[in-house]
Amino acid sequence: MAQIFRPRANALAKMIIFGIVLFSAALVGLALAVVRSSYVTEEDVAPQQPVPFSHEHHVGGLGIDCRYCHTSVEESYFAGIPPTETCMTCHSQLWTHAEMLAPVRQSLATDTPLRWTRVYDLPDYVYFNHSIHINKGVACVTCHGRVDKMPLIRQANSLYMQWCLECHRAPEKYVRPREHVFDMDWQPPEKQITLGKKLVHDYKIDTSGRITTCYTCHR
């Protein structure tokens, strides 16, 4: 009987199979890299805004408290975006004719709100409440990063569910005394875990597993 395949066909078949497996693995790896890249998550991306507002200058330099602009952060699900009147409280006296502030002056003159681009924009199917986190000792810097060092505000984390669950599963790693929630550079006077466990108990943070259920964030 005539031989259909030459002896080297076996080696060729093995090379093809190995190549397919290698290509598939590379494809999966590339897909995972893209999904976790800033191109998709927008992490570390500073979107263009109508005014180049600098948290580094206002928070880090001038020491303005977060609550001066984000007035509802302690009592509402939404932190709040300051109206033009808040900006003009200072800028009616300081840098009144600065070119970069022209949109702010026009907004006040025409009674038209500035259209800021939201940096932290969760999907509609995700429920998030700022006030709950603030009152349980989760600091602004935990989620938003060191905004006092950001000339232009950018998304400090991926906002992926895994990132949220890391805190919900082990809140003792992140909570701090309520009086230091708005302090950018606060450091625990003792080991974070030791302090965190005490605060979890004092603030009655649920550790039964209910805060990791789907309904907590997807209502």
Give the 3-state secondary structure of residue 185: coil
Give the 3-state secondary structure of residue 117: coil
Tokens 């702010």 sit on residue = 104
Q: Which residues of the chain have pLDDT under 70?
A: 1-7, 9, 32, 34-37, 39
Taking CA atoms, 53 is separated from 77, 109, 178, 186, in Å, by 23, 19, 27, 24
Measured in degrees and rounded to the nearest 5, phi and psi for residue 27 equal -65, -45
Q: What is the pLDDT of residue 1?
A: 53
Contact by Cβ (8 Å): 50, 115? yes
195: left (phi over 0), alpha (psi -120 to 50) or beta: alpha
Q: What is the pLDDT of residue 16?
A: 82
Instruction: Say if residue 153 is exposed, middle or buried (CB neighbours under 10 Å; 0-12, 13-18, 19+).
Output: buried
Q: What is the pLDDT of residue 55?
A: 97
Chain centroid, CA 34 distance in Å:
18
Gap between the Cα atoms of 47 and 118, Å rounded: 8
Gap between the Cα atoms of 132 and 138, Å rounded: 9
Q: What is the pLDDT of residue 13?
A: 75
124: left (phi over 0), alpha (psi -120 to 50) or beta: alpha
Give the 3-state secondary structure of residue 57: helix
86: left (phi over 0), alpha (psi -120 to 50) or beta: alpha
Q: What is the pLDDT of residue 165?
A: 96
Please give the model's pTM, rounded to 2 decimal places: 0.81
**Structure-token pair, residue 192:** 């974070």
